[in-house]
Amino acid sequence: MNPFTILSQALGSILHFIYNFIAFGNYGLAIILFTVVVKMLLLPLTIKQTQSASKMQEIQPKIKEIQKRYKNDKEKLNKEMMRVYQENKVNPAGGCLPLLIQMPIIFSLFQVIRHPLQHLMKLGSDSINTLSEYVSSVIGEPLQSHNREIDIINYFNEHIEELKQFSEIINPEKLINFNFLGLNLGLNPTIDSTKLFGEESVVYLPLLLIPILGVITTYISSKMMTPKTADAGKGGTSSSMANSMLYVGPALTLLFSFQLPAGVGLYWIASYIFQIFQQLYINKFIKKKKEEPDNK
């Protein structure tokens, strides 16, 4: 069993517990609470990453001065830079390590949310395959593997009577309901005008809130987490790169919001809202505490 599978199973158990015992079977609320729990577990790593990035930002003027002074002497350049890092107790890779640790967790989270039958309802692969084969035979085409479990739930929510023949696999009364605050979190948001303004408009128009809120929260979070550069407002390279990165996250969120079920989008929104308040906490208590001795 590979590490990603083990991690997904562990996170899936957390979501299963939240869904059944804290969110009382409310899928949307379970995802939000699940996001908060995971973010709280990752908070120490996030604080460490922020502190490391802050230290690197503080010594940037010294680094730039060394790079300018020894640009033609690579050996001396590397030696002086290591001296600055050691004197300021800065690890140049310190900001990357926490992020690298978080990446497997983030990928595993997506797997958990996209496989609700496996993680929330604890069905085995044989049972899921049986349900998948039935739905595929009825609709006349195979289900896409990446959204298969969500598509199965969507189908049986619309044809609940048909699920009774599989009562030995799953109790129809326990089937996940994707509806949350008027949104069907099992469907993908779309810009298809026939769905937005046709008979299904009541379903698909509200789903546009997911990509809209996703983009807004991503931008605000990115803005708050982007360190101020020394050449900010002067059109410098660092400033230009920082400004460009501000739009990469929102653009990717917008793109993937239309490719994935709204439940994943809700996870992103909850995650970025948490990051916004998390950054406010870090700015007020972590960074402020660090700066106080220097001001005395």
Please check the confidence at residue 50 and state whether its pLDDT lies above 80. Answer: no
Q: Judge whether residue 216 has pLDDT over 70.
A: yes
Q: Kindly state whether residues 60 and 125 are assigned to the same domain.
A: no
- Tell me the mean pLDDT in the region 191-209: 92
Collect all residues with Cβ–Cβ distance below 8 Å to 96 and sequence separation of at least 6: none
Does the pLDDT of residue 239 top 70, yes or no?
Answer: no
pLDDT at residue 88, rounded to an integer: 81
Of 14-18, 67-71, 75-79, 108-112, highest mean pLDDT: 14-18
Say yes or no: 145 and 219 in one domain: no
Q: Are residues 98 and 159 in the same domain?
A: no
CB under 8 Å to 153, separation ≥6 — which residues? 116, 117, 175, 176, 178, 186
What is the rounded CA–CA span in Å between residue 143 and residue 140? Answer: 9
Q: Are residues 8 and 109 in the same domain?
A: yes
Residues 187 and 141 in one domain: no
The C-alpha atoms of residue 152 and residue 132 are separated, in whole angstroms, by 6
* Token pair for 18: 């939240």
What's the rounded Cα separation, in Å, for the pair 198 and 202? 9
So what's the pLDDT on residue 222?
Answer: 85
Residues 38 and 151 in one domain: no
pLDDT band at 296 (very low <50, low <70, confident <90, very high): very low
pLDDT higher than 70, residue 45: yes
Whether residues 156 and 225 fall in one domain: no
> Is 50 exceeded by the pLDDT of residue 272?
yes
Contact 49, 95 (CB under 8 A): yes
Q: Is the domain of 151 the same as that of 164? A: yes
Domain count for the chain, please give it.
Answer: 3
Length of the chain as a residue count? 296
Report the mean per-residue pLDDT for the chain: 83
pLDDT at residue 240, as a whole number = 60
- 128 with 90, same domain? no
The predicted pLDDT at position 61 comes to: 86
180: DSSP letter: E
* Boundary-marking domain end, from 102, 119, 136: 119
- Residues contacting 176, CB < 8 A, separation 6+: 25, 27, 116, 120, 121, 153
Q: Give the pLDDT mean for 168-174.
A: 88
Other C-beta atoms lying within 10 Å of the C-beta of residue 274: 20
Tell me the torsion sign for CA atoms 186, 208, 182, 160.
negative
222 vs 106, residue with greater confidence: 222
| Residue 138 confidence (pLDDT) | 93
Q: Helix H segments across 18-124?
A: 27-58, 60-69, 74-87, 96-114, 116-119
Domain end among 119, 138, 159: 119
Residue 291 above 70 pLDDT? no
pTM score of the predicted model: 0.79
- 154 vs 174: CA distance, rounded Å: 14
User: Comparing C-alpha atoms, which of 190, 159, 192, 193 is closest to residue 175?
Assistant: 159
Distances from the Cα of 209 to the Cαs of 120, 212, 269, 274, in angstroms? 25, 5, 10, 18
Predicted pLDDT at 228: 61
pLDDT of residue 287: 61
48 and 132 inside one domain = no
- Sequence-distant (6+) residues with CB within 8 A of 262 are 183, 184, 185, 186, 187, 188, 189, 207, 210
pLDDT mean over 127-144: 92
Among 175, 198, 216, the domain boundary falls at 175
CB count within 10 Å of CB 94 equals 17
Assess whether pLDDT exceeds 60 at residue 67.
Answer: yes
Does residue 61 share a domain with residue 20? yes
Which amino acid appears at position 49 of this protein? Q
Q: ∠ at Cα 250 (204, 178), nearest 5°?
A: 35
Does 128 lie in the same domain as 110?
no
Domain residues for the domain of 186 are: 180-296
pLDDT given at position 99: 66
